[in-house]
A and B are shown apart, each in its own frame.
Chain A
């Protein structure tokens, strides 16, 4: 049953503000056309509201709705993706606002708004956005309350008080739901493709110039927190995908490597590092780990070439507990792998083989060849730059023999090709190098700018050993992170060395603090998925979704019951203590002599008692006096209580 009434102005204005605020976070993520359309619809509604003109008729609204729905479908196709649905909801919100005339319409607008409220989180989930969402949620509760009160006389104070009370009471209940609602693994329907686009990070194929675009990205790739000491900065090589195969142009990852048995590692314990990794969704299957991972977390495969691989692509932030050894154990290289690690495309430039032969000429061992190669990069006319010249059909030869300017991708790929030409088994590893240590949160923040590519070569007796040609040309890159804030494309590459002046030191402290908060936000809230939930709840003995549902029901039901009981206590009228004491006293007298009749006053009753037992009269008189005083003269009930207690038959 709805009461038809005129919408009050406050409510309409509040809805207009909420709608505009809901559109704002989508600027930059959605097609600007839909941002403009929804803002235009809101502005139109505002115009109708303030000037009472150009009110749209139903004849106009229906075709307009159909047209806009068609437009969304035309631009996004029939996908159920986040961009399509967000655009659709925004347009719907504008249209609903336009036809908002009665209480029912207001509810429709508010319901759509609640849905729109969660759409920005499909694109990013920062703390700032969460707080923004919380404010909007509060405003929406206020709108609901104003709408339901149906009265213009409800004051903003009352509305905010109700909304605050409801919000605060809802919070623990929400927490129970958040923690205990069984998180299903994987999406309900095929994950819309658009959820993976525009994610920067290392991809599954590498060509020489590829990593450079990441150097300008301030985005966090992952954060790592060590249990105990962390390795030295120049030892922080976070291994990601391993590349064995090259066609001369680019290297491609091989993710079907065989599983490695968890090694009962004989290597020294002082190079063991235990750490937890909070990895942002990078839509790839691999994790990043220090040199040799010892064990693999649940549902993660540890491969022969020391990759940690997930079953599916990582689509949300997750945290992993890892154990690594920075010392590599000597291993046997089987013939198949040796062949893979030496394979070169047929069209490899002859100059590459000549260069390899030159390195081999004066060297007695593989390690000597490699050192000669590193020295070659250092002493010849090579430069480290983020904006290398464009390379031709054979990028390796072009880089080595003509341009000689490049980034880590160039150095690593060409170095690997020459080593293979020199008959040294070599593979390419992509990952991140270094990071920024956050002293506030005591974790390493690794950004996309730290992306790096290096080479691993197989040495008899030592196994796979890491070599970083970039370190030979730009040692600063390995000692310090790239300073993204001072980075200019085409300019000199700058690195993060200790900040010099006081202000920037202070600013950096603040940045550290904010990043620390963000770390806990990500590892505590955003990474709370099926695995973390399982680990967290099983520490309370809650295992499996049936138990989660059971506890969810028990806890939320219990909480609701507690509030209900509290309300019940409130609604039961409290008896006046003096009244209660008086009635109890009368009952006691009644057991001895005669009961008080319901309609009898204290005077009548006590007179009756005194007639039976005259010696009680003075005491009764006193009690009556005190009872009347405490009932009607607001005297303290304590006097009456002591009198009654002192009474003897």
Chain B
């Protein structure tokens, strides 16, 4: 992974990890760090005491066992490393959520070298998950609940895999920072508050001629990519008449504009909440709705993809990495 010099020498690497553009990372010599923990320092003190006793009594066997203990401790770091190396970690795509809702950062840990791994601990946001035994080639899913603090893109914090194996005097750890992001929509207003303001928006609407809806069947049309699978006429497909989509229309379906300027709330965030609530309500009411923001305009439509598009625009409203 290319790194600038400043990044290479930054101490942040050791606890935050260097950001990875890839979705999966294999732990290796570059990523696993090892330092003695508090117990390790205690053991070092014990070894020094043993050495002093050996020197004082000029005791050969004392020297032998002191050095054997010191060497074994040193050698144990190789096994600390081997306990983590070759583990593959995938950062999974995370579902979007609304602000205030709990989202889940998901990872999968996979053993790739056919060895048993012992006492691995996954840490993210001060939450501990202990994996006492990872069997050869076993995959282990990690779902960590996270509570994003604000709307927009939320990057889960560093996932740290660590283990104290084999002696519990050295801690081997690997900080992993994935590119995966969670999209956080604005917090929707509660329904009770939202409903009265909806008619105000509807007042702005114009009744139009029959438009695609979900209520009444109005005929078939040739399938176009993007049509919902539910509307495909499978019987016609089975009769080799080609792919046809059922068409529904709703005479009542109205076209509404969810307009920034029509919001009753004074603040930006509250306005976004309001718009968010409207979009949800409009989708639920099977209306055709468009979104009008100061910087952006989304023409009326409906359906899941449209809703997501609208919500994403709201989530990323006035944010630097707006797309």
Interface residues of A (CB under 8 A from B): 1, 3, 82, 85, 103-104, 107-108, 111, 114-115, 117-118, 121-122, 125, 129-130, 133, 137, 141, 144-145, 147-154, 158, 162, 165-167, 169-171, 173-174, 177-178, 181, 183-184, 187-189, 191, 195, 315-316, 525-529, 560, 563-564, 567-568, 571-572
Contact = CB atoms under 8 A, between A and B. Distances in A.
B140 interface: no
A122 B62 CA distance: 8
Given A107-B39, A148-B164, A118 B55 contact: no
Given A125-B59, A150-B119, A170-B75, A177 B164 contact: no
Interface stretch (B42-50, B235-243, B261-269, B293-301): B42-50
A583 B49 CA distance: 58
A117 B132 contact: no
27 contacts: A111-B46, A114-B50, A114-B69, A115-B46, A125-B59, A125-B61, A137-B65, A141-B167, A144-B167, A145-B166, A145-B167, A148-B119, A149-B119, A149-B133, A150-B130, A151-B132, A153-B133, A162-B166, A170-B68, A170-B72, A183-B55, A187-B58, A526-B60, A527-B60, A563-B75, A567-B81, A571-B29
Interface in B45-88: 46, 49-50, 52-72, 74-76, 78-79, 81-82, 85-86
A173 B74 CA distance: 9
Interface residues of B, number: 55
Given A148-B118, A158-B116, A560-B74, 13 more contacts: A1-B121, A104-B39, A121-B59, A122-B59, A130-B64, A133-B61, A137-B68, A148-B168, A167-B72, A178-B64, A316-B58, A527-B60, A529-B60
Given A121-B59, A154-B133, A571 B164 contact: no
B171 interface: yes
B121 to A, nearest CB: 7
Contacts of A149: 118-119, 132-133, 165-166
B15 interface: no
B37 interface: yes
A177 B71 contact: yes
9 tightest Cβ-Cβ pairs between the two chains A and B? A151-B132, A173-B71, A177-B67, A170-B71, A148-B168, A121-B61, A170-B72, A149-B118, A174-B67
A528 B121 CA distance: 45
A174 B71 contact: yes
Contact of A121 (B62, B128, B169): B62
A111 B42 contact: yes
Given A150-B119, A151-B133, A169 B75 contact: yes
B138 interface: no
B28 interface: yes
Contact of B28 (A147, A150, A528, A571): A571
Contacts of A133: 61, 65
A114 B59 contact: no
A1 B37 contact: yes
Nearest to B46: A111
A178 B63 contact: yes
B132 A150 contact: yes
A184 B128 CA distance: 48
Interface string B164-178: 111111010000000
Given A133-B65, A153-B133, A154-B133, A118 B79 contact: no
Nearest to A125: B61
B154 to A, nearest CB: 26
B39 A189 contact: no
A321 B74 CA distance: 38
A165 B119 CA distance: 19
A382 B64 CA distance: 53
